Amino acid sequence: MSKLIEICSRIREPDRRMAEGTQRLLDSKTKPRRSLGRLEDLACQISAIRGTSEPDPPRKAIVVMGADHGVAEEGVSAYPQEVTGQMLLNFARGGAAINVLARHAGARVVVVDMGVKVPLPAVPEIRAYRIGPGTRNFTKGPAMTREEVVAAVEVGIQIAEELVRDGVTLLGIGDMGIGNTTAASALAAVFTGAPAEEVAGRGTGIDDMAFKRKIDVIRRGLSVNRPDPQNGIDALAKVGGFEIAGLAGVVLGGAASGVPIVVDGFICGAAALAATRIASLTAGYLISSHRSVEVGHELVLQALGTKPLLDLDLRLGEGTGAVLAMHLVEASLCILREMATFTAAGVSDSGA
């Protein structure tokens, strides 16, 4: 049995009865019932995933995967391709937005090179799992082979499992890759059935001419490759990316280990959606952190069946939205653990 098949077979639906029990516990706290709204939903979801009505404070990690995309040669980004590798090195040095926000959230940052175009110098802060020097241009054929996709997904599974063994109980996913909003847009079109113009956004800030070119590139990629919307591996191979496939693997590995996954924005949302096409029960383990400025993200969120926690006009990626949302996850569990009940506090309950 392959690692991917074995992992998918281990994913179970979160415990709904545990969620119901946790809601009853929250209802006993000194507040009007449901008055903490989605914080209560979060606590119930985490309890259902973790299998306890009193989860310990989360130990957090954000997995940031980077890779290059052959489709970048079509002029779909405002930045040159070498920026992918340069930013991974910036992550390694601790100088990027994700590093700052993760330090504030108390989250470990795990940086992974899934296949930048030019190999990076060996540094201990970057895990090198290079599948290749970037994907192929999907306007001319598949971005990856099936074997490459499975290898990338299994890297993500391995990293998730290692982190969970090390005590991590809350995983986040983030991305870096020049051209990856084009790949994510193509995947969003595949999985939602929406046309290219409804899923393509401005990415790194491209002008009108580049935006029109981007829409055309997505259309051509879908026409040439005809990805199967029900087959996550096939869709990833046809129009995905090494880092997107790897992040789908982190989702699968986290779900199989009974750990919730906080999903960043558009690219990570496309990775999570691919994971649900590989193993549908992963959907119950996902927490969508924020609504991206990228127009296709709303369709991805709808397809995932999730409502984002934040709406801050973010479009950076890197996992920045995910680590911000981790504060809310932790707050929900603090309410569950620390807030007094009506009985303990000697406060009269309305009985509602």
Six-digit token pair at 24? 């009853």
Q: 């930048």: which residue's tokens?
A: 116
CB-based contacts of 199: which residues, under 8 Å, 6+ apart?
185, 186, 188, 189, 192, 218, 295, 296, 299
CB-based contacts of 79: which residues, under 8 Å, 6+ apart?
178, 204
Q: Do the Cβ atoms of 282 and 313 come closer than 8 Å?
A: no
Ramachandran area for residue 106 (φ above 0: left; ψ -120 to 50: alpha; else beta): left
Active site positions, annotated:
318
CB-based contacts of 317: which residues, under 8 Å, 6+ apart?
174, 175, 176, 180, 264, 265, 266, 267, 268
Rounded distance, CA 46 to CA 14, Å?
9
Judging by beta carbons within 10 Å of its beta carbon (0-12, 13-18, 19+), is residue 133 exposed, middle or buried?
A: middle
Six-digit token pair at 306? 């999730």
Ranges assigned E (strand) in 2-131: 60-67, 107-115, 126-128
Rounded distance, CA 310 to CA 327, Å?
11
Exposure string for 181-207, b = 16+ CB within 10 A, e = fewer: bbbbbbbbbbbbebebbbbbbbbbebe
Six-digit token pair at 193? 């059935």
C-alpha distances in angstroms, 190 versus 173, 211, 232?
22, 19, 10
User: In the 8-state DSSP scheme, what is residue 282?
Assistant: G
Six-digit token pair at 278? 């590989």
